[in-house]
Every structure is written in C-alpha cells, then in structure tokens.
Amino acid sequence: MIVLVLHIFTPHIEAIKADGATEALINSICIENEDYGFCNKIIHEKLKVPTATIKELTSLIIYTTMDHANDTYIFIDNILREWPVPKETTGLKTCHEVYNRETNSFLEIRFLFSKGEYGRMGEAILSTAKILEDCRGDFLIPPYKEPLIEKKRVMRILITMSAVSGHMIKNEKASLISSVVTAQFFNI
C-alpha cells in the first residue's frame, strides 16, 4: 500500500542527472537555443540513463519532436471536430496540415537517422523549420487563449535542437548551425 501511494505521488517524469561528458553535450545542444532552460529540461526529462552519446541524444530529440508534432496535430484535429470556431477554421486547417507534414517529415527524419544519412537528415530538418512558418497560430480558442502560439514556440525550439544535435554527430561545433536555423529560417 505504501509503495502504491509513493508511486502515485512520485512525479510522473523524473529528471536524471547525467554524467559530465553527457552534460557537456547537452549544454552544446542548448547553449544558443532561444530557451536554454526549456531545452535543457526537456532532454533531462526524456533521458533514461546518465550517459548518452550525441547519437543517442539526437534520437531522443527527434522522437520528442515527432511526438510534439503529432500531439499538436491531434490537438488541432479535436478542435476542428469538437469545438469548431468558424472564424478560425481556415487558419486552423492550415495549421492542421502543417503539423501533419511536420509529423510525416519527422518520420522520414527518423528513417534517415537510422540509415546514418546525416546530411540528408539535416536538410530535412531545416525544411521542417520552413514548413512551420505557414501556421500562424494566433487563434483565440476558448477555453484556451492562443494555445497554438506556445505549441509553435515549443516546435521551433525542438526543431532547432534536432538540427543542432544532428549536426553535432559529424561536427563538434554546434554554434554555427544553431544561428543558421534560428536566424535564417525563423526570422527572429
């Protein structure tokens, strides 16, 4: 009984403390991210073991990004079916299609990763940054305010993390690609 209670009250996600070399990799992935804290936190939440190579971290980030794209696709799908906001239907349909494409792109990226085709994988990741721009996101959807703004922000961060981490498999320096992804593709 006590075990059960403890289990229930233990937070669902427990962050693991990574070793020094792994922390250094995580730091390199996140250092130039628009939200260092979020980047660092989400990797630690998903990390199951204290030691990970750059390939393992990249795999973890790609899966996380695909899941976020898919979750957002389903979120928009539910809005369109259950709480239609007529004024926003066209924009929502565009975002619905955008997150469908993002999910499919990350399925392809996962495949390229598994084949070790890191060059093509990098190009595919950069194209997802462009796809994302088509979803405006500033929809007022009661009872939420503008839920797609935050989901887009998270997607943008995850895409940048995927690009930087994937780039690091072949190149030690992440800073160059980080600024390329952020400035060129996201116009910020």
70 near ligand NAG, rule: CB under 6 A: yes
103 near ligand NAG, rule: CB under 6 A: yes
For 118, other C-beta atoms within 10 Å of its C-beta total 18
Residue located via tokens 């939200």: 35
Q: Give the nearest distance from C-beta 73 to ligand NAG in angstroms.
A: 7
Residue located via tokens 């499919």: 104
105 near ligand NAG, rule: CB under 6 A: no
Size of the site for ligand NAG (CB under 6 A): 4
Question: What are the helix and strand counts (H, E) for the chain?
Answer: 9, 0
Kindly state the helix (H) or strand (E) to which residue 4 belongs, with its residue range.
helix 2-9
Look at residue 142 and give its three-state secondary structure: coil
Q: Give the nearest distance from C-beta 107 to ligand NAG in angstroms.
A: 6
| Smaller CB separation from ligand NAG, 32 or 102 | 102
For 109, other C-beta atoms within 10 Å of its C-beta total 25
74 near ligand NAG, rule: CB under 6 A: yes
Contacts for 3 with CB less than 8 Å, ≥ 6 apart: none
Contact present, 30 and 176 (Cβ < 8 Å): no
| Smaller CB separation from ligand NAG, 112 or 174 | 112
Which residue has its beta carbon closest to ligand NAG?
Answer: 70
Q: Give the nearest distance from C-beta 77 to ligand NAG in angstroms.
A: 10
Q: Give the nearest distance from C-beta 102 to ligand NAG in angstroms.
A: 10
User: What does the binding site for ligand NAG look like in residue numbers (CB under 6 A)?
Assistant: 70, 74, 103, 107
